[in-house]
Amino acid sequence: MIVTRFAPSPTGHLHVGNLRTALHNWMWAKKHGGRFLLRIDDTDGERSEERFVDAVRADLAWLGLEPDGEERQSSRFALYESRFAELVASGRVYPAYETPQELDLKRKIQLGRGLPPIYDRAALALSDADRAKLEADGVRPHWRFRLSPDPIAWDDLIRGPQRFDSATMSDPVVRRADGSWLYLLPSVIDDIDMGISHVVRGEDHVSNTAAQVQMFEALGAAPPAFAHEALLTGSEGKLSKRLGSLGVAHFRDEGIEPQAIVSLLARIGTSAPVEPVVDPAPLIAAFDFAHFGRAPARFDEGELAGVNAKVIHQLPFAQVADRVPAGMGEAAWDAIRPNLTRVAEAADWWRVIEGPVASDTAEDDRAFLAQAAEVARDIAWNSDPWHALTGALKAASERKGKPLFLPLRRALTGHDQGPDMAALLPLIGRERTIARLDAAAA
């Protein structure tokens, strides 16, 4: 079974890059009838906050990304201790006693000699007596995973064949001197225990993956498949700090629909065109990592606004009924939605329908509008009053095109442009139509 996971740290709100990662993990699982899991990476007890855990759940729910299960790293420490002990016993994890200052000095010396600043494994040369003395002196070790000399390789679903020489890499620290965990090892232990088949994340994790491939093998497990996506860039074409501040709260405040976010994030960075949809089923069916490129994926809020408008033009009334003005029904929604860029704008057009409206009538249109009021009194209103009105006026006044239609629209709506009048006029109704035409002609 395909099993993916989204693993945020609850130290802040999700931003648009996080949302994209969550979406792609969800889509890949759904495409293959698999499972999408949420893992809360809350090993950092000081920085993790429960309000951010709640926010993660709420953001995923808003996007329609319902996890099939949830795990929390803070409840899995016993498992980490057990697997950690196995690695210590096998010699793949070892204690190191250098202070941060000593390690920094070593790196500076190596760089000064033109050497790569990798850890020299000095801790492995310590004797039992050396370690006992350090610990008696109160020096607590941090713990490193010992990389094997074997070449590290995997076929990335986006980046293609990846090769790393472990001799150019430092043995990664997996546990701090205070006993707290760093990201690398608990994530591997969880992926094994949770049966994760695919890890989908940003390309900034590629070097982490190189170390984690060996951790999977050291724990007797085959690594999952990896897909490392190009990072998002801003519309200016470079990495933007602003992207880190764009989250669900921002998009909701801007009137962006979740379907618009899904439509855009599903496709940017791929060779497929962005397709505004209300139902994500076609996006899921077409989702394929082979369509992703390695170039940075460009996120443009202007493009999102355009996608949002196209999504709104497809939204059925049932999906917006609780967000439109009281009294507005399906016919009114169907009439005005082609002119909306945000659902909140429906209130403006509802005021046009309900009235009153203010119009500025040109002097040479007053007689025409008085004539229109008389025609409106006589036409049938039970089928298509707009075409009945304009057809009769065209014959009686010899006006056509803009001189015929524009004065009527202005008098009836107060606007030069807007929804199709054939749909709008029945909603305005006979009495309000006549009253507005009389007022404009006066």
Q: What is the pLDDT of residues 317-365, one digit of tens each?
A: 999 999 999 999 999 999 999 999 999 999 999 999 999 999 889 999 9
Q: Binding-site residues for ATP, please?
A: 241
Average pLDDT over residues 387-414: 95
Q: What is the pLDDT of residue 238?
A: 58
DSSP 3-state percent helix, strand, coil across the chain (nearest 5): 50, 10, 35
Beta strands 173-175 and 297-298 are unpaired
> Which part of the chain is CATH 1.10.10.350?
355-441
Contact criterion met (CB below 8 Å) for 308 and 342: yes
Residue 422 to residue 152: CA distance in whole angstroms: 67
Average pLDDT over residues 41-52: 92
> Which part of the chain is CATH 3.90.800.10?
79-175
Q: Who's near 310: CB < 8 A, 6+ residues apart?
A: 276
Token digits for 75? 């409840």
Q: Is 48 left (phi over 0), alpha (psi -120 to 50) or beta?
A: beta
Domain 355-441 in CATH 1.10.10.350? yes
Q: What is the pLDDT of residue 400?
A: 94
Residue 268 to residue 117: CA distance in whole angstroms: 37
Q: Which residues pair with 175 in a beta bridge?
A: 143, 181
Q: Who's near 220: CB < 8 A, 6+ residues apart?
A: none
Q: Binding-site residues, please?
A: 241
Question: Is pLDDT above 80 for 239?
Answer: no
**pLDDT tens for residues 193-207?**
999 999 999 999 999
Q: For residue 356, how many C-alpha atoms fall within 13 Å in the half-sphere facing its CB? A: 7
Distances (CA, A) of 54 to 60, 69, 87, 258, 270: 10, 15, 34, 18, 31
Question: Is pLDDT above 60 for 82?
Answer: yes
Average pLDDT over residues 138-143: 96
Question: Is pLDDT above 90 for 394?
Answer: yes
Q: Who's near 246: CB < 8 A, 6+ residues apart?
A: 15, 16, 301
Contact criterion met (CB below 8 Å) for 312 and 342: yes
Contact criterion met (CB below 8 Å) for 340 and 424: no
Q: Is 250 left (phi over 0), alpha (psi -120 to 50) or beta?
A: alpha
Q: Count of H helices and E strands in the chain? A: 18, 12
Q: Who's near 193: CB < 8 A, 6+ residues apart?
A: 76, 79
**pLDDT tens for residues 272-286?**
999 999 999 999 999
Average pLDDT over residues 19-42: 97
Secondary structure class of 365 (helix, strand, coil): helix
Average pLDDT over residues 170-189: 96
Question: Is pLDDT above 70 for 236?
Answer: no
Residue 6 to residue 19: CA distance in whole angstroms: 10
Beta strands 225-229 and 69-72 are unpaired
Give residue 216's identity as a one-letter amino acid code.
Answer: F
Token digits for 403? 């001189």
Least confident of 227-236, 283-292, 429-438: 227-236
Residue 341 to residue 357: CA distance in whole angstroms: 22
Token digits for 243? 């992207």
Question: Is pLDDT above 80 for 137?
Answer: yes
Contact criterion met (CB below 8 Å) for 362 and 407: yes
| Neighbouring C-beta atoms of residue 67, cutoff 10 Å | 21
Token digits for 138? 């109160």
Q: What is the pLDDT of residue 241?
A: 66
> Which part of the chain is CATH 3.40.50.620?
3-69+188-230
Residue 257 to residue 61: CA distance in whole angstroms: 13
Q: What is the pLDDT of residue 359?
A: 86
Residue 294 to residue 103: CA distance in whole angstroms: 34
What angle (nearest 5°) sits at the alpha carbon of residue 51, between those of residues 47 and 53? 80
Residue 396 to residue 411: CA distance in whole angstroms: 19
CATH number of 79-175: 3.90.800.10
CATH number of 3-69+188-230: 3.40.50.620
Single out the residue of 442, 425, 352 nearest to residue 391, CA to CA. Answer: 425
Distances (CA, A) of 338 to 311, 314, 402: 10, 8, 21
What angle (nearest 5°) sits at the alpha carbon of residue 163, between those of residues 159 and 168? 130
Q: Mutual orientation of helices 430-441 and 421-428 as an angle, nearest 10°?
A: 100
